[in-house]
Structure 1
């Protein structure tokens, strides 16, 4: 029961912070890897924003799902065309979902680069433990998208 309460409290905190960060980004204030992802709502057709971390790995950029049932993941699966905004700079992107097999390797590389990722995935309920093998085994539950610039 306590774990559920902690997870619920953390989710509310993340939601609150996620509403403030896009405002800061519009003012030109950036934080780490955080960028504003704008997608098209799969049901409403209206623009929807979410804060995501864009992670460079092997010369490519990736976005990892951090929370179960993230609306942005469902929106991107419905329409992979999106916009990433960092500070006052925006770029049109195409988000390509990485298949489960290669996703495992990307998750392992991300955990080597940032061990805190494992703890975040445990806290969000996507995995049961922060060990790299445990996270890689959950690759079928953690969406990973490769970021490509949209060609005009």
Structure 2
């Protein structure tokens, strides 16, 4: 088993990129499936938003926390639901965390295949070509949620 997920703070470039993606999502423009995720704060109860990449794998949809144990992950664990927003379109979603490392392997592989250009720095030593064992060994560092649109 690997070390539990820790938060990786984005640098200036990543912060600027995230802000741009969020700004575009609020105006109805998606980059490769990006959306703005809104989740109620676990303490405040107020809506908190963050740009996310919605990933489809074998007919199911997932959210992957490339930066580890972030605030949106903590909030989603408590709330179990949120909203995916793109412009004026608001889609309620329920979320179930995928806990089995083996079940995360195909999701992490697809995530890296699709978005390594954006998030690869948060997956040191891993790629879409990593072995199943390598991805499973690292799976605890990357929370994954299966989402269902309500």
Q: What is the TM-score normalised by the length of structure 2? A: 0.78
Q: Structure 1 residues 93 and 115 mapped into 2: Cα distance closer, same or farther (>3 Å)?
A: closer
Name the count of aligned residue pairs: 138
Residues 1:53 and 1:115: Cα distance change in structure 2 (over 3 Å): closer
Aligned to 2:81: 81
Give the secondary-structure state (helix, strand or coil) at the position aligned to 2:104.
helix
Give the number of the structure whose residues are more often helix, by fraction: 1
**Following the alignment from structure 2 to structure 1, what is the Cα–Cα distance between the partners of residues 68 and 26?**
27
Whether the 8 Å CA contact 2:26–2:36 is kept in 1: the answer is no
Q: Secondary structure in 2 aligned to 1:114?
A: helix
Deviation at 1:128, TM superposition (A): 3.6
User: CA shift at 1:115, angstroms?
Assistant: 7.0
Q: Aligned residue for 1:120?
A: 119
- For structure 2, which runs of at least 5 residues remain unmatched after alignment? 1-7
RMSD: 2.3
Counterpart mapping for 1:3-152 below 5 A: 11-100=11-100, 101-111=102-112, 113-114=113-114, 116=116, 120-121=119-120, 123-124=121-122, 127-131=123-127, 132-133=130-131, 134-150=134-150
Offset at residue 135 of structure 1 (A): 3.0
TM-score, normalised with respect to structure 1: 0.78
Shift of 1:114: 2.8
Choose 1 or 2 for highest CA Rg.
Answer: 1
Which of 1 and 2 has higher RCO (CA within 8 Å, sep 6+)? Answer: 2
